[in-house]
Amino acid sequence: MIGAGGLAIVPTETVPGALVRADLPESVRALELAVGLAPSDRGLGGTLHLSGSRELEEILQAAREGGVSTAHTRVIRRLLPGPVRLLIELDTGELTRARARLGVGQGVVDTNGALSVRVPRHPLAQATIQMAGGGAVAGVAAAALRTMTDEGMRGAWAGRGGFVRVMSDGGVRALGVASTTLVLTRAGGVRIAAEGALPAREVWGALERRVLFVCTGNTCRSPMAEAIAKRIISESAPGPVRTVVESAGTSGGGGGATREALEVMAARGVDLSGHVSRSLTREMADRAEVIFVMTRRHASAVESIAPGSKGRVKVLDPEGRDVEDPIGQSGAEYERVASALERMIRARIEEMDR
């Protein structure tokens, strides 16, 4: 029905949406009239509705000719599908390429230099989008059509594929509030334009990068690595992705850092006196985006504790060599290890930021 040019009012996880084929000018114009837009108005200014996040990545890669920022990729992969609307800032050329890929006119799913996109999680909304037959789908909040009765909409779409209002909720309870609106800036950053169904704390929590360093007892190598990483990050220009750094050990827990670790780090301007060692748990590993271990033996131990971590565990040294334990050795050995850790961590941070 929607594929033939009709109008569908369907439930989403937030508020109901009114959807039409965005690449069929007559259907778009009928929706513009239904929401009260005059012929002189500059387009529907609707929202592109997609059934999957991968499709959005492909649209942006084509529009930006391959360049999608790390922060924008994280938003797409971590928050979609879900109760968020994205306003993606694009320059004139990028918007032109995006419209051409979608086959839509100016102002149908963009406004003020930004492409508006939703990937709803609701199964009925996804099914309706998929029934569009591969064409782009534009939507507005169904409440925007409140001045039209269902009978009026049937009449307006009688020759355009028909009208349907999906009454079932598909077993999914709608939140009843608008989506949270995020702006993906032209500079590659992210900001919240309007908080809605998804609280701001959950947005930022989903977007943060959590890094975990693991050694054996969490008394020298991994706490030094944690402290060094935190210092490097704090001294760098703030990026669009917040990084949280932690450390743990595969055994032990409860004690402080070794005396030599305290002294070596103090000489680097870092106070480890408050460190309390802790044992790695499955929950810690599951939260981490990447887990840097000191040796290949630690990698096996982490994957044993948290089987789901496989693929996220890496030996800290980019060349794959073990960082040997300095415990029981001289301060000079601790200094050598700390210097090696810093080199490795700088390389890994640069790698993550690419």
The catalytic residues are 215, 221, 325
The amino acid that residue 330 corresponds to is S
198 contacts: CB under 8 Å, gap ≥ 6? 79, 82, 83, 84, 179, 180
- What are the tokens at 193? 């334009």
Query: What would the two tokens of residue 88 be?
Result: 């993606």
Task: With beta carbons less than 8 A apart as the criterion, state whether 297 and 256 touch.
Answer: no
Distance CA 171, CA 183 (A): 31
How many secondary structure helices (H) and strands (E) does the chain include? Answer: 12, 14
> Are the beta carbons of 181 and 192 closer than 8 angstroms?
yes
Query: How far is residue 326's CA from residue 324's CA, in Å, rounded to a whole number?
Result: 6
Q: How far is CA 333 from CA 89, 216, 266, 275, 340, in A?
A: 51, 17, 15, 21, 11
Name the token pair of 150.
């269902």
Contact 319, 206 (CB under 8 A): no
Residue 342 neighbours by CB under 8 Å, 6+ apart: 228, 232
DSSP characters for 304-346? HH-GGGTTTEEESSTT-------TTS-HHHHHHHHHHHHHHHH
Distance CA 39, CA 18 (A): 20
Look up tokens 């996220």; give the residue. 312
Radius of gyration of the chain (CA): 26
